[in-house]
């Protein structure tokens, strides 16, 4: 097997595993389980970029991997505010270093939104942050001609929205109907 084909196959395999982890994570109820799969997804993304020789993408993904791994430890409480500030500073510095024009602002803004939702820690906000934070990435992938990544990101946004409605909105409706039934019985 030729080296380029092997790199292509490995890269695509890591990308598929990352997508599966992310899509499944948005359907999980418990924050810890969601965060473990998000962390695994970032590990696969790091491997994908590394195999393909995309060092900058790999470095940015390592930051996301470390962020997710650390935030997984904060299951019952929110991480300290200084952690979010440090993340924002690191993301800002990496964006400035890799700036390629106004288009670079799209993934930067998306990353800020998603980092905040992860830091905030409620699964409802993580799902919404994933959907909203990935929306600029949708435009970025189309404008940069990365159509495969567009499809993967679109699936991630859809999974986040479905998970939000299935696990958050349905839960709220179920609670309100239970309260209404209890009130009627009295």
Pick from 120, 58, 67: nearest CA to 90: 67
Per-residue confidence (pLDDT) for residue 181, from 0 to 100: 62
pTM for the full model?
Answer: 0.77
- Whether residue 166 contacts residue 28, with contact meaning beta carbons closer than 8 Å, is answered with no
Q: Which backbone phi and psi does 122 adopt, to 5 degrees? A: -80, 135
Alpha helices in 26-122 (DSSP H): 31-52, 55-72, 81-97, 105-120
Per-residue confidence (pLDDT) for residue 57, from 0 to 100: 67
Pick from 120, 114, 148, 147: nearest CA to 132: 114
Which token pair is 64? 């996301």
Which token pair is 24? 């499944």
Per-residue confidence (pLDDT) for residue 55, from 0 to 100: 66
- Whether residue 144 contacts residue 175, with contact meaning beta carbons closer than 8 Å, is answered with no
Per-residue confidence (pLDDT) for residue 186, from 0 to 100: 58
In the numeric block, the tokens 């905040």 are attached to 116
What parts of the chain have a pLDDT lower than 50? Answer: none
Helix pair 31-52, 123-143: axis angle to 10 deg: 20
Distance separating alpha carbons of residues 126 and 56, to the nearest angstrom? 25
CA distances for 175 relative to 29, 178, 180, angstroms: 16, 5, 9
């Amino acid at each position: 097997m030729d080296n380029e084909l092997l790199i292509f196959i490995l890269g695509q395999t890591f990308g598929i595993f990352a997508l599966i982890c992310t899509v499944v994570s948005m359907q999980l109820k418990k924050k810890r389980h969601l965060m473990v799969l998000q962390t695994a997804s970032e590990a696969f993304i790091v491997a994908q970029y590394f195999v393909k020789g995309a060092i900058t993408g790999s470095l940015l993904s390592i930051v996301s991997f470390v962020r997710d791994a650390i935030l997984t430890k904060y299951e019952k409480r929110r991480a300290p505010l200084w952690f979010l500030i440090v993340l924002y500073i690191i993301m800002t510095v990496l964006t400035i270093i890799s700036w390629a024009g106004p288009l670079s602002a799209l993934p930067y803004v998306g990353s800020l939104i998603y980092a905040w939702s992860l830091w905030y820690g409620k699964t409802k906000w993580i799902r919404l942050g994933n959907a909203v934070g990935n929306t600029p990435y949708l435009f970025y992938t189309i404008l940069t001609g990365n159509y495969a990544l567009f499809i993967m990101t679109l699936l991630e946004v859809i999974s986040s929205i479905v998970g939000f409605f299935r696990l958050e909105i349905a839960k709220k409706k179920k609670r309100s109907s239970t309260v209404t039934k209890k009130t009627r019985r009295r």
